[in-house]
């Protein structure tokens, strides 16, 4: 590695950033923009050519495809994205979906209505009266506790005396009420409401949990599980132009606010120095007082110049057998009919070859969104889980693609002659595109042995390094990643007043 004088001579060393943020996913951009708002000079380094990571969009063959996430919640009152935008004085144009999702199971179409009462009636119609009302009323009540408290406890999980004091000061009755649900699982509720023997319902619950909590009823606790299962009972939004509109807005905010964003800068090494850190990328070196790593913990510890962080956080690191990646397809087709809903979960009659998935998730572009596809055409994003991605980095994609195409045609999304373009991505593609170890995506899954306060909190080295993103508390999804970025910024500012 070159020394500082050599780098200065070449003009490849940038000094004087307060904070360098690694990665421009929703976690990194949330942390960066809040720190910038507080007057810090922040630099965001992004390895990719686009911002947004798993919640972005990219252009190919005349269409804009989603990089990962397709459904968006968190913009309602007291939710993380709404809090973030409010803090920054920003607004985003988002269309609220009337019908957030349809689930196709055993030949039936289940409408996941936004209104709780309407949804309970639908659940009773499909799965029978027994247990549905108390199950969903309880889940919704707990999900409300979760969301209403999410941005009130920014020092959680506590890892310093300051955090403890702040958590104690902010504690409310509703937070105490939510505590017992961290100990119970969704399986406990299924037993309590006499639903565990209702096989189609358990199948439905598991597939819904997999897309939001990355695990099934035996493992997901009631706190995270309730928020996951009631996902459709909160405002679900569509962004015209694609998910990239959200990261784009935050990058624009950073640049307008005196901070910096640089793409194609892959961080390769972080070295603690006397008064901060040196961050080396593929082409530049930067120095800063603080670092926020907004990439998974698995990747973060490998960037450290020594093994100290890896050793310190080894108990928090999940390895491939506990993680998932995704097989994803982007498909453009002629839109010859209208669809009542944009998002569809399809349960499969037989598992997909090679990867064994039993359901797929399909999201369509909005018919009025002519930025993503021209008039008369539509774009579909299809994704499904690939467990233990280290073992399945690459496989014969064509076999899986063909099976998915058959399912989509069988469900009437398009006919073969209406296909315009398609491509697919396996775990290796995620690894190459976003550098996430083993290509794992969707965040750390929920496990019942890991309570919320046992997840990795934002502090990394007890000095000036912090972490956020979907491998840390509070985990997956855009609202979770955003909240983790808000928490990291909050803790950094709390520690270095
Ligand atoms: C197929 C799929 C579907 C999903 N569906 C939904 C959904 O519908 N709704 C929802 O809310 N969530 C969904 N999610 C989950 C959600 O998208 C993610 O959990 C969230 O966006 C993760 O954000 P993040 O900031 O933690 O990480 P990322 O989005 O992974 O951001 C990390 C960034 O860091 C960059 N990076 C990595 N290494 C380096 C390095 N060394 N140097 C510099 N930069 C680096 C990457 O390029 C990336 O841009 C989905 C995810 C996938 C994959």
For residue 36 the two structure tokens come to 């910038």
pLDDT, position 13: 56
- Three-state DSSP state, 8: helix
Atom of ligand 1 nearest to the CA of 469: 26
Spacing, Cα 27 to ligand 1 middle (Å): 8
d(CA 284, CA 38): 26
pLDDT, position 318: 96
For helices 222-229 and 199-212, angle between their N-to-C axes, nearest 10 degrees: 90
Nearest Cα to 344, choosing from 97, 138, 115, 131? Answer: 97
Spacing, Cα 442 to ligand 1 middle (Å): 7
User: CA torsion 151→153→158→164, rounded to 10°?
Assistant: 150
Q: 338 φ, ψ to 5°?
A: -100, 150
For residue 152 the two structure tokens come to 């009130």
The DSSP H or E segment spanning 203 is helix 199-212
Atom of ligand 1 nearest to the CA of 52: 49
Q: Is 46 in the pocket of ligand 1 (CB under 6 A)?
A: yes
| Surface-to-core class of residue 95, CB atoms within 10 Å of its CB (0-12 exposed, 13-18 middle, 19+ buried) | middle
- Three-state DSSP state, 280: strand
Q: Is 389 in the pocket of ligand 1 (CB under 6 A)?
A: no
Q: Is 24 in the pocket of ligand 1 (CB under 6 A)?
A: yes
Q: Is 208 in the pocket of ligand 1 (CB under 6 A)?
A: no
| Surface-to-core class of residue 99, CB atoms within 10 Å of its CB (0-12 exposed, 13-18 middle, 19+ buried) | middle
pLDDT, position 159: 86
Most ligand 1 atoms within 8 A of CB, residue of 22, 69, 487 to mutate: 69
pLDDT, position 15: 61
d(CA 131, CA 186): 14
Spacing, Cα 424 to ligand 1 middle (Å): 17
Spacing, Cα 430 to ligand 1 middle (Å): 10
Atom of ligand 1 nearest to the CA of 54: 29
With tokens 């990194």, the residue in question is 28
For residue 432 the two structure tokens come to 């190459």
pLDDT, tens digit only, all 497 positions of the chain: 455 556 545 555 556 799 999 999 999 999 999 999 999 999 999 999 999 999 999 999 999 999 999 999 999 998 999 999 999 999 999 999 999 999 999 999 999 999 999 999 999 999 999 999 999 999 999 999 999 888 888 888 888 888 888 888 888 887 888 889 999 999 999 999 999 999 999 999 999 999 999 999 999 999 999 999 999 999 999 999 999 999 999 999 999 999 999 999 999 999 999 889 999 999 999 999 999 999 999 999 999 988 889 999 999 999 999 999 999 999 999 999 999 999 999 999 999 999 999 999 999 999 999 999 999 999 999 999 999 999 999 999 999 999 999 999 999 999 999 999 999 999 999 999 999 999 999 999 999 999 888 899 999 999 999 999 999 987 789 999 999 999 999 999 999 98
Spacing, Cα 68 to ligand 1 middle (Å): 7
d(CA 349, CA 326): 20
For helices 116-127 and 132-150, angle between their N-to-C axes, nearest 10 degrees: 140
For residue 28 the two structure tokens come to 């990194």
Residues 6 or more apart whose CB falls under 8 angstroms from that of 192 comprise none
Q: 350 φ, ψ to 5°?
A: -135, 150
pLDDT in tens, 419-461: 999 999 999 999 999 999 999 999 999 999 998 888 999 999 9
Q: Is 299 in the pocket of ligand 1 (CB under 6 A)?
A: yes
DSSP 8-state assignment for residue 48: S
d(CA 345, CA 395): 24
Q: Whose CA is nearest to atom 1 of ligand 1?
A: 68
Q: Is 222 in the pocket of ligand 1 (CB under 6 A)?
A: no
Sign of the Cα pseudo-torsion (404, 330, 325, 225, in order) = negative
With tokens 């058959």, the residue in question is 406
Cβ atoms < 10 Å from Cβ of 75? 22
Q: Whose CA is nearest to atom 41 of ligand 1?
A: 267
Most ligand 1 atoms within 8 A of CB, residue of 295, 327, 444 to mutate: 295
d(CA 456, CA 84): 22
Q: Whose CA is nearest to atom 46 of ligand 1?
A: 434
Q: Is 382 in the pocket of ligand 1 (CB under 6 A)?
A: no
Distance of CA 401 to the CA centre of its chain: 24
pLDDT, position 6: 60
Q: Is 53 in the pocket of ligand 1 (CB under 6 A)?
A: yes
Atom of ligand 1 nearest to the CA of 434: 47
Q: Is 32 in the pocket of ligand 1 (CB under 6 A)?
A: no
Do residues 408 and 364 lie in contact, with contact meaning Cβ atoms separated by under 8 Å?
no
- What would you measure as the largest C-alpha separation in the chain, in angstroms? 74
Bridge partners for 5 per DSSP: none
Spacing, Cα 67 to ligand 1 middle (Å): 9
Most ligand 1 atoms within 8 A of CB, residue of 53, 71, 80 to mutate: 53
| Surface-to-core class of residue 261, CB atoms within 10 Å of its CB (0-12 exposed, 13-18 middle, 19+ buried) | buried
Spacing, Cα 312 to ligand 1 middle (Å): 25
What Cα–Cα distance (Å) separates residue 14 from each residue in 4, 18, 137?
Answer: 10, 12, 55
DSSP 8-state assignment for residue 232: G
Q: Is 442 in the pocket of ligand 1 (CB under 6 A)?
A: yes
Do residues 480 and 151 lie in contact, with contact meaning Cβ atoms separated by under 8 Å?
no
pLDDT, position 281: 97
Q: Is 27 in the pocket of ligand 1 (CB under 6 A)?
A: yes
Q: Is 266 in the pocket of ligand 1 (CB under 6 A)?
A: yes
Q: Whose CA is nearest to atom 16 of ligand 1?
A: 477
pLDDT, position 487: 96
């Amino acid at each position: 590695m070159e020394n500082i004088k050599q780098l200065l001579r070449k003009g490849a060393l940038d000094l004087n950033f307060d904070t360098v943020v690694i990665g421009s996913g929703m976690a990194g951009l949330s942390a960066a923009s809040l720190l910038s708002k507080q007057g810090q000079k922040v630099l965001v380094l992004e390895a990719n050519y686009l911002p947004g990571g798993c919640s972005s969009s990219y252009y190919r063959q005349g269409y804009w495809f989603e990089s990962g996430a397709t459904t968006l919640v968190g913009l309602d009152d007291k939710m993380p994205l709404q809090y973030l935008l409010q803090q920054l004085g920003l607004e985003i144009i988002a269309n609220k979906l009337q019908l957030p999702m349809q689930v196709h199971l055993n030949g039936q179409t289940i409408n996941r209505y936004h209104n709780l009462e309407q949804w309970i009636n639908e659940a009773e119609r499909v799965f029978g009266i027994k247990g549905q009302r108390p199950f969903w009323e309880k889940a919704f009540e707990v999900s409300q506790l979760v969301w209403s408290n999410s941005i009130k406890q920014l020092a959680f999980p506590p890892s310093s005396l300051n955090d403890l004091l702040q958590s104690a000061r902010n504690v409310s009755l509703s937070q105490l009420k939510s505590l017992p649900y961290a100990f119970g699982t969704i399986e406990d509720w299924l037993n309590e409401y006499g639903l565990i023997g209702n096989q189609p319902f358990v199948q439905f619950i598991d597939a819904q949990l997999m897309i939001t909590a990355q695990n099934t009823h035996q493992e997901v606790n009631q706190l995270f599980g309730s928020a996951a299962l009631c996902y459709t009972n909160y405002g679900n939004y569509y962004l015209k132009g694609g998910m990239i509109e959200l990261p784009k807005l935050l990058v624009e905010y950073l640049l307008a606010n005196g901070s910096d964003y640089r793409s194609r800068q892959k961080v390769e090494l972080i070295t603690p120095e006397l008064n901060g850190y040196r961050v080396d990328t593929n082409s530049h070196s930067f120095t800063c007082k603080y670092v926020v790593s907004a990439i998974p913990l698995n990747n973060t510890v490998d960037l450290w110049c020594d093994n100290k962080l890896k050793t310190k956080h080894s108990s928090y690191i999940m390895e491939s057998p506990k993680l998932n990646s995704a097989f994803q397809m982007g498909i453009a087709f002629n839109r010859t009919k209208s669809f009542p809903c944009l998002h569809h979960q399809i349960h499969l009659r037989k598992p997909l070859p090679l990867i064994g998935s039993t359901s797929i998730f399909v999201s369509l572009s909005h018919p009025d969104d002519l930025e993503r596809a021209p008039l008369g055409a539509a774009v579909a994003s299809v994704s499904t889980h690939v467990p233990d991605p280290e073992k399945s980095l690459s496989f014969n994609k064509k076999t899986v693609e063909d099976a998915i195409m058959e399912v989509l045609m069988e469900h009437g999304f398009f006919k073969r002659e209406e296909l315009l373009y398609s491509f697919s991505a396996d775990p290796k593609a995620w690894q190459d595109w976003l550098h996430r170890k083993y290509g794992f995506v969707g965040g750390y899954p929920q496990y019942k042995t890991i309570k919320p306060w046992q997840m990795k909190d934002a502090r990394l080295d007890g000095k000036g390094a912090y972490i956020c993103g979907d491998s840390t508390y509070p985990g997956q999804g855009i609202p979770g990643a955003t909240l983790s970025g808000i928490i990291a910024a909050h803790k950094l500012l709390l520690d270095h007043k």
